[in-house]
């Protein structure tokens, strides 16, 4: 009886050890696979970085028939004389139709915005 | 039985008893000796040799594997990756594990995939060696092909390699001389890879585990493990696009001028951050083991040269700052002057008569620069050189800086003061010279030159330090105006960019190269400039070494900076104006 119990425990122990060993081999194989995938990822990253490199961009541009443009020229703006000391004149006349102003007043109130009319006019 | 008879027998009995005891004692002694020998031998193996035997036993079933740290990457200012870690493979063969019948198949497979000579492989396979590399550092696709073949006695070893971006031609990589490379031992060589080896490399970890009889790892066995600490990434002030444009313009310029070599250095005026660092000729850092070692040298930092008239910017700035001269101070320049027993001439040997210092700089006149130095005085001038950073190394964070210390103020001869005023008889590297002239562009402050802005998550402490005021902002503004005049009326005219004609500052420099104490017709031609003049976005120095224009063998002035360095400067500046969307100030 006792011998049988010991035998069962021994077999159980051996089964567990075998399972652990098999699992460790699986892990080892997967680690190897992971290393290969990481290596592939590195290659892909290098390809990606190379595709964005200035050399590659220029080569692709040349192959597409693109040419470097002549640098843009700069236009000198005419100077505008502004006299900040001059008196402020009359406000410009509002030519918006009365009905549109009324609508805007309602919409502004309802919509809680004062930009509706400006937005609709431009 | 008589008493005599008894007495005669007793001694005999005593003899027998004595001999028996002796035998027992002898047996015991022998047994003890034998046991002692066994015990001592046991003690020898179990105690004295315990350590060695335990190590031998562990070596058979226990494996210590170093876990390499991932080397940090390097990025430019826009976080464009300049170098990528890739996995490469090395194939090796163990000839003693290849059966005679398999040799031909192994040699054929290896030569087909790797392109190595089959006959040489057969020789290796027939040898009695236990290990030999077949080929080192090839890419993954080839490794995959080899795996499929399952060749006996052939193994693959994974290694990490730094892969750099392609450069302007197939035989170069981008910023090779600046970045350096990493050798097969994982050590950074040259440039940033060497200078930041410790930060980039990180700290390797290890794993100690058990292996079975077929050398497979028992992952779930008891083992010790320590993770590696990966290296830090570097973020540079470099701009990869400008770097590329600089390399391209430089290569074209050096070829066009039939020069020996050339370099370009561009700096952010306000921070001192290097934007581009180009050398020509350069090399392919991805293939460093097949590269002539002389190409690894970085001429920007390791080549010292006499800066020539670019130095006048420093000389006149110091004199103006000291109140010794102003841009409109008038002097008489007969075209020559005698100092310390030596005649010193203007480059054109003409009598210029009464001229002001703006004219001196516009036309790059040596006599005028020398008079400015004399007006300032030797001691003040020497302190000026120190303040502009020309008496010590720049300290930039790239490996391999060369500099030649100038004599102490007391040991400087009068003639050396005179020649130094216009940039001859003083040796500097490009970083020193650009940082010095950048003082003018940066409102009179010295911006310490640097490449690395961030190491991992840490900002470079250099950037947090206050900058040293060398000359007053007013002096810097005056000098800027004088340098603008150089572009508008003087030797800087070939650098003009449409739209910036009134808004760029510059100065040429051409110095004859001394050989065995005598100046030759060979020159170092250079141009330094910045734009927009009042609010500069960059400062750039171009140096061309030994240009050879047709006919210049007899006349070195044909290789002047305005003919050689300036057009290169202009081409790169155009790329910067377009790339950085720079607009004129006015």
Q: Do B498 and A74 touch (CB under 8 A)?
A: yes
Mean pLDDT value across chain B: 90
**Within a domain: B209:** yes
The radius of gyration computed from the CA coordinates of chain B, to the nearest angstrom, equals 38
Residue A35 lies in a domain: yes
What is the count of structural domains for chain B? 4
Q: Does A25 touch chain B (CB under 8 A)?
A: yes
User: Which residue segment(s) compose the domain that A43 sits in?
Assistant: 2-63
Share of chain A above pLDDT 90, in %: 30
A10 domain-assigned: yes
Is residue B183 situated within a structural domain? no
DSSP SS3 for A63: helix
Give yes or no: residues B232 and B319 share one domain.
no
Peptide bond into A22 cis (omega under 30): no
Asked whether residue B36 falls in the same domain as residue B140, the answer is no
The tens digit of pLDDT for each residue in A19-58 reads: 988 888 898 899 889 988 988 999 999 999 999 999 999 8
pLDDT at B17: 67
Compare CB distances from A39 to B140, B221, B583 and report the shortest one's residue.
Answer: B140
- Chain A: give the shortest CA distance to residue B141, in Å: 9
Q: How far does the CA of residue A77 sit from the closest CA of chain B (Å)?
A: 10
Q: Do the Cβ atoms of B86 and A42 come within 8 Å?
A: yes
Average pLDDT over residues B151-155: 91
**Residue B443 sits in the same domain as residue B504:** yes
Average pLDDT over residues B373-386: 95
Residue A109 has pLDDT above 90, yes or no: no
Mean pLDDT, to the nearest integer, of B108-114? Answer: 92
- pLDDT-derived band at B13 (thresholds 50, 70, 90) equals low
Q: How many whole angstroms separate alpha carbon A50 and alpha carbon B136?
A: 23
DSSP string over B162-208: EEEPB-SSTT-BTTHHHH-EE-TTS-EESHHHHHTHHHHH-B-EEEE
Q: What percent of chain B has pLDDT over 90?
A: 66
**Mean pLDDT, rounded, of chain A:** 78
A101 within a domain of the structure (yes/no): no
pLDDT category of residue B565 using cuts at 50, 70 and 90: very high
Say if CB B84 and CB A43 are below 8 A apart: no
Residue B190 lies in a domain: no
Inter-chain touch B219–A43, beta carbons under 8 Å: no
On chain B, the residues whose CB falls within 8 A of the CB of A40 are: 140
Find the mean pLDDT for residues B525-542: 96
Contacts of A43 in chain B (CB under 8 A): 86-87, 139-140
Q: pLDDT at position B56, please? A: 84
B227 plus B255 within the same structural domain:
no
Q: How many domains does chain A have?
A: 1
CB-CB neighbors (< 8 A) of A22 in chain B: none
List b or e across B53-78, with b for residues whose CB sees 16 or more CB atoms inside 10 angstroms: eeeeeeeeebbeeeebbebbbbbbbe
Q: Is the pLDDT of residue B155 over 50?
A: yes
B501: nearest CA partner in chain A: A74
What residues pair up with B181 in beta bridges, in sequence order? Answer: B189
> Are B361 and B494 part of one and the same domain?
yes
- Mean pLDDT, rounded, for B391-409: 93
pLDDT digit string, tens, across residues A53-79: 999 998 899 899 988 766 556 565 566
Can you say how many angstroms the Cα of residue B489 is from the centroid of all Cα atoms in its chain? 40
Which chain B residues are within 8 Å of A54, Cβ to Cβ?
165, 174, 240-241, 243-245
- Does residue B518 lie within any of the structural domains? yes
Query: How many angstroms from the chain centroid is the CA of residue B318?
Result: 33
The CATH code of the domain that includes B154 is 3.90.1310.10
A79 vs B: CB within 8 A: no
Comparing CA positions, the residue from B439, B443, B448, B444 lying closest to residue B528 is: B439
Residue B243: closest C-alpha in chain A: A54
**Same domain assignment for residues B41 and B124:** no
CA distance B170 to chain A (A): 10
Q: Which residue of B has its CA nearest to A79?
A: B586
Within 8 A of A52 by CB-CB distance, chain B residues are: 80
Q: Is residue A13 part of a domain?
A: yes
By percentage, how much of chain B surpasses pLDDT 70? 94
pLDDT at A79: 61
pLDDT, average across residues B516-527 = 87
How far apart, in Å, do the first and last CA atoms of chain B sit? 154
Which of residues 238 through 267 in chain B touch A, CB cutoff 8 A?
A: 240-241, 243-245
Q: Is the pLDDT of residue B6 over 80?
A: no
B419 shares a domain with B303: yes
Q: Residue B305 belongs to a domain with what CATH number?
A: 3.40.710.10
Q: Is residue A32 part of a domain?
A: yes
Same-domain pairing of B214 and B297: no
Same domain, B320 and B467: yes
Mean per-residue pLDDT for B258-277?
Answer: 96
The dihedral formed by the CA atoms of B146, B151, B152 and B154, expressed in degrees to the nearest 10: -30
- B524–A contact, CB cutoff 8 A: no
Q: Give residues with Cβ within 8 angstroms of B347, minimum separation 6.
A: B364, B365, B366, B510, B557
Structural domain includes residue A114: no
Asked if the structure places residue B97 within a domain, the reply is yes
A76 found inside a domain: no
Contacts of residue A19 in chain B, CB cutoff 8 Å? none
Domain residues for the domain of B218 are 60-69+203-236
Q: Indicate whether B228 and B253 sit together in one domain.
A: no
- Whether residue B303 is contained in a domain is answered as yes
Do B405 and B531 belong to one domain?
yes
B24 pLDDT above the threshold of 50: yes
Tokens of B4: 């005599």
A49 at B interface, C-beta within 8 A: yes
Q: Is A23 part of the contact surface with chain B (CB cutoff 8 Å)? A: yes
Query: What local confidence, expressed as pLDDT, does residue B190 receive?
Result: 95
Q: State the count of interchain CB pairs (< 8 A) between A and B.
A: 84
B166·A25 Cβ contact <8 A:
no
Nearby residues of A21 by Cβ (< 8 Å), 6 or more positions away: B212, B218, B220
Q: Tell whether A35 lies on the interface with B, counting CB pairs under 8 A.
A: yes
Q: How confident is the model at residue A88 (pLDDT cuts 50, 70, 90)?
A: confident
> For B573-584, how does the pLDDT look when each residue is reduced to its tens digit (9 = 90+)?
999 998 999 988
Give A35's contacts in chain B (Cβ within 8 Å).
Answer: 87, 158
Per the domain annotation, does B277 fall within a domain? yes
- Contact (CB, 8 A) for B293 and B406: no
CA distance B169 to B278: 14
Alpha-carbon gap, residue B508 to B495, rounded angstroms: 10
Residue A53 domain flag: yes
Residue B550: its pLDDT value, please? Answer: 74
Supply the DSSP symbol for B45: I
- Provide the pLDDT for residue A119: 38
* C-alpha span between B261 and B278 (Å, rounded): 11
- Tell me the two tokens of residue B66: 């170093």
Provide, as residue numbers in chain A, all residues whose Cβ is less than 8 Å from the Cβ of B220: 20-21, 23-24, 27
B154 and B225 share one domain? no
B562 φ/ψ angles, rounded to the nearest 5 degrees: -70, -20
Mean pLDDT calculated for residue range B253-278: 96
Q: What is the rounded CA–CA span in Å between residue B345 and residue B538?
A: 33
Q: In this predicted model, what pLDDT tens digit does every residue of B45-71 receive, in sequence order?
A: 989 999 998 888 877 777 777 888 999
According to DSSP, the residues that pair with B505 across neighbouring strands are: B530
Q: How far apart are the C-alpha atoms of B82 and B277, rounded to whole Å?
A: 14
Task: Please give the structure tokens belonging to residue A51.
Answer: 């595709």
Within a domain: residue B163? yes
Res. B419 pLDDT band, cuts 50 70 90: very high
What distance in Å separates the CA atoms of residue A101 and residue B273, rounded to the nearest whole number? Answer: 58
Task: Say if A40 is an interface residue toward chain B (CB within 8 Å).
Answer: yes
**B243 contacts B175 by C-beta, under 8 angstroms:** yes
Whether pLDDT at B499 is above 80:
yes
Would an 8 Å CB–CB cutoff place B78 in contact with chain A?
Answer: no
pLDDT above 70: residue B15: no
């Amino acid at each position: 009886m006792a011998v049988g119990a010991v035998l069962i425990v021994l077999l159980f122990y051996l089964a567990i050890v075998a399972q652990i060993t098999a699992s460790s081999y699986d892990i080892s194989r997967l680690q190897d696979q992971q290393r290969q995938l990481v290596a592939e990822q590195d290659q892909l990253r290098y390809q990606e970085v190379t595709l964005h490199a200035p050399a590659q961009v220029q080569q692709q541009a040349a192959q597409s028939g693109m040419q470097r443009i002549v640098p843009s020229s700069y236009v000198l703006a005419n100077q505008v004389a502004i006299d900040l000391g001059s008196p402020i004149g009359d406000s410009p006349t509002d030519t918006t139709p009365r009905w549109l102003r009324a609508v805007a007043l309602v919409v502004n109130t309802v919509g809680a915005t004062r930009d509706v009319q400006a937005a609709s006019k431009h | 039985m008589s008493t005599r008879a008894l007495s005669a027998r007793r001694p005999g009995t005593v003899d027998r008893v004595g001999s028996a005891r002796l035998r027992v004692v002898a047996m015991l002694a022998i047994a003890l000796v034998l046991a002692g020998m066994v015990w001592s031998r046991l003690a020898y193996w179990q105690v004295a040799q315990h350590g060695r035997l335990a190590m031998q036993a562990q070596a058979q079933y226990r494996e210590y594997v170093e876990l390499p740290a991932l080397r940090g990457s390097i990025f430019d200012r826009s976080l464009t990756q300049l170098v990528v870690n890739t996995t490469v493979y090395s194939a090796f063969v163990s000839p003693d594990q290849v059966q005679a019948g398999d040799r031909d198949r192994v040699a054929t497979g290896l030569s087909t995939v790797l392109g190595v000579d089959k006959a040489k492989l057969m020789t290796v396979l027939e040898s009695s060696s236990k290990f030999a590399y077949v080929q080192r550092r090839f890419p993954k696709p080839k490794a995959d092909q080899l795996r499929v073949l399952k060749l006996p006695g052939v193994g693959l070893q994974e290694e990490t390699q730094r892969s750099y971006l392609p450069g302007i031609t197939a035989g170069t990589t981008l910023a090779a001389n600046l970045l350096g490379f990493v050798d097969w031992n994982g050590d950074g060589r040259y440039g940033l890879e060497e200078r930041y080896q410790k930060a980039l490399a990180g700290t390797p970890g290890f794993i100690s585990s058990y292996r079975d009889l077929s050398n497979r790892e028992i992952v779930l066995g008891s083992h010790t493990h320590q993770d590696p600490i990966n290296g830090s990434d570097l973020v540079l002030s470099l701009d990869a696009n400008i770097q590329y444009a600089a390399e391209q313009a430089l290569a074209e310029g050096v070829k066009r001028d039939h020069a020996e070599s050339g370099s370009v250095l561009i700096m952010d005026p306000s921070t001192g951050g290097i934007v581009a660092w180009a050398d020509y000729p350069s090399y392919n850092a991805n293939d460093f083991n097949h590269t002539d070692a002389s190409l690894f040298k970085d001429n920007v930092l390791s080549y010292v040269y006499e800066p020539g008239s670019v130095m006048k910017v420093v000389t006149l700035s110091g004199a103006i700052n000291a109140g010794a001269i102003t841009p409109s101070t008038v002097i008489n320049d007969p075209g020559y002057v005698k100092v310390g027993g030596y005649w010193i001439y203007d480059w054109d040997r003409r009598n210029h008569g009464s001229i002001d210092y703006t004219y001196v700089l516009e036309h790059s006149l040596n006599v005028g620069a020398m008079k400015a130095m004399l007006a300032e005085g030797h001691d003040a001038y020497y302190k000026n050189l120190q303040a502009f950073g020309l008496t010590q190394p720049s300290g930039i964070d790239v490996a391999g800086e060369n500099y030649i210390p100038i004599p102490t103020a007391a040991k400087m001869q009068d003639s050396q003061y005179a020649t130094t005023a216009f940039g001859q008889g003083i040796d500097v590297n490009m970083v020193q010279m650009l940082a010095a002239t950048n003082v003018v562009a940066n409102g009179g402050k010295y911006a310490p030159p640097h490449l690395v802005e961030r190491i991992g998550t840490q900002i470079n402490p250099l950037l947090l330090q206050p900058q040293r005021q060398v000359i007053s902002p007013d002096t810097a503004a005056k000098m800027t105006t004088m340098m603008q005049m150089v572009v508008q009326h003087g030797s800087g005219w070939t650098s003009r960019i449409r739209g910036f004609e009134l808004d760029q500052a510059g100065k040429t420099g051409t110095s004859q190269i001394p050989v065995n104490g005598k100046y030759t017709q060979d020159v170092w031609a250079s141009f330094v400039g910045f734009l927009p003049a009042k609010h500069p976005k960059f400062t750039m120095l171009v140096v061309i070494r030994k240009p050879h224009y047709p006919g210049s063998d007899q006349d070195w002035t044909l290789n002047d900076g305005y003919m050689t360095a300036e057009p290169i400067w202009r081409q790169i500046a155009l790329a910067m104006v377009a790339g950085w969307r720079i607009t004129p100030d006015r």
